[in-house]
Amino acid sequence: MSTSTPLGKLRTNGLLWPIVALVALLVVNVIARPSFASITLRDGHLYGSLIDILRNGAPTLLVALGMTLVIATRGIDLSVGATAAIVGAITTTYIVAAPDPASARAAFIGMAIALVACALLGVWNGFLVSVLGIQPIIATLVLMVAGRGIAMLITDGQIITVNNEAFSVVGAGFVLLPVSILISIAVFIGLVIITRRTALGMLIESVGINPEASRLAGIRSRTIVWMVYVFAALCAGVAGLMITSNVNSVNPNSVGLWIELDAILAVVIGGTSLAGGRFSLAGTLLGALVIQTLTTTVYNLGIEPQAILVFKAAVVLAVCLMQAPKFRARFVRRPKPPTPAIRPTAPAPVPSKVGQ
């Protein structure tokens, strides 16, 4: 198991296959439509398909980052989509009802109130899981189901449209790059620093791997698990702001719909085990990009709408299989022991499937 070469390192930390999948998807797109790779500068903004992928993937990435930590503690959070809808509903409802609905002040207060509410939702989830000890999948299912209802109540069942420049910046603004991707990247970098430069990452992993041993070593397992759900809810909240801000309206039934599944997929593709324990934020970043690129690819290749979900599922399955050690051991030929210098990587199934 050579870990000295860059390739060997990628193999051992599990980032190889997501990278292969991402590159393969990009190559397929460029072949199908050469202009895919071009990026142009207009009015100080970057435009292009790649930028679109980043912008559209920003909410998924954000939610997936929160989900990574939750999954690392052996949990799961199904309520993130509903949380995003509630945050969108609160913000837009506040802005519309404010005395000066077009002012930046209204936007900021609206977003602040929504994020505080969203943190409370995270506190609720964390309470159910860490204090009452309810299975995470059930505990967060409560809010997943109830959340959209709450959002509907807030907007009184209406689709609310806002016209507020300051609010639009979050989802549709540009500072060279789309603001939404800048936010997600900032959260990513911040999270890497806070988990890997402090001991937080190790303690989260420790709790996820063996909760009882962690408790006996004096780790505040309950606090850590609780914090992680609050963080996941905040990530979902900001994602909800991005989504509603991008279209300047909120439909409680569709904001962040199925985003929890995309987020979980991104985490899994990134190599973090659903069984908890060690997590990879870089993997999640790659996973979110793979998911978003895949969606874009589907449109770019003009695949029939009816086949989109099946196609997506096939690619995700292929990536996950290639990551599974047991599958690889069985179907990917290992080199004979006497010449262990190079391990030929088997051709990824992704490009061959996409190429059809």
Partner 1 sequence: MTEAATAQKPSSTGAPVVEMRGISIEFPGVKALQDVDFRLLPGEVHALMGENGAGKSTLIKALTGVYTIDSGQIRVGGAPVSFARPAEAQAAGVSTVYQEVNLCANLTVAENILLGREPRKAGAIDGRAMRARAREVLTSIGLHIDPASTLSTHPIAVQQLVAIARAVAVDASVLILDEPTSSLDADEVAELFRIMRTLRDKGTAILFVSHFLDQVYEISDRMTVLRNGKLVGEYLTAELSRLDLISAMIGRELGEMDALARMTASHEADSSRVPTLRARGLGRVGSIEPMDLDVHAGEVVGLAGLLGSGRTELVRLLFGADRPERGTIEVDGKPVSIRNPRNAIAAGIAFASEDRKGEGLIADLSIRDNLVLAMQASRGWARPVPRRLKDELIEKYIELLDIRPANPDALIRNLSGGNQQKVILARWLVTQPKLLILDEPTRGIDIGAKAQIMKLVATLAAEGMAVIFISAELEEVLRISDRVVVLRDRQKIAELEGRSASVNDVMSLIASHSDGSTLERNAS
Does 335 participate in binding partner 1 (rule CB under 8 A)? Answer: no
Among 6, 43, 44, 216, binds partner 1 (CB under 8 A): 216
Q: Is residue 266 within 8 Å of 284, Cβ to Cβ?
A: yes
Tell the smallest beta-carbon distance from residue 328 to partner 1 (Å).
12
Give phi and psi for 280, each to the nearest 5.
-130, 110
- Give yes or no for residue 267 binding partner 1 (CB under 8 A): no
Q: What is the total residue count of the chain?
A: 356
Phi, psi of 323 (to 5 degrees): -80, -20
How many Å apart are CA 71 and CA 83, to the nearest integer?
18
Using CB under 8 A, pick the residue from 209, 301, 314, 321 that binds partner 1: 209
User: By the 8 A CB rule, do 27 and 351 touch?
Assistant: yes
DSSP label at 253?
Answer: T
- 217 binds partner 1 per the rule CB under 8 A: yes
Q: Does 193 bind partner 1 (CB under 8 A)?
A: no
Looking at beta carbons only, is 105 or 220 nearer to partner 1?
220
Distance CA 76, CA 220 (A): 19
Q: From the CB of 237, what's the least distance to partner 1, in Å?
A: 23
Closest CA to 183 of 174, 323, 11, 273: 174
- The smaller minimum CB distance to partner 1, of residues 340 and 347, is found at 340
Beta strands in the chain (DSSP E): 40-42, 45-47, 160-161, 174-175, 177-178, 249-250
**Which span (113-121, 184-192, 194-202, 295-303) binds partner 1, by CB under 8 A?**
194-202
User: Does 220 contact partner 1 by CB under 8 A?
Assistant: yes
199 near partner 1 (CB under 8 A): yes
Least gap, CB of 224 to partner 1 (angstroms): 8
Would you tell me which residues interact with partner 1 (CB under 8 A)? Answer: 1, 3, 12, 197-200, 202-203, 205-206, 209-210, 212-220, 224, 277-278, 329-330, 334, 337-338, 340
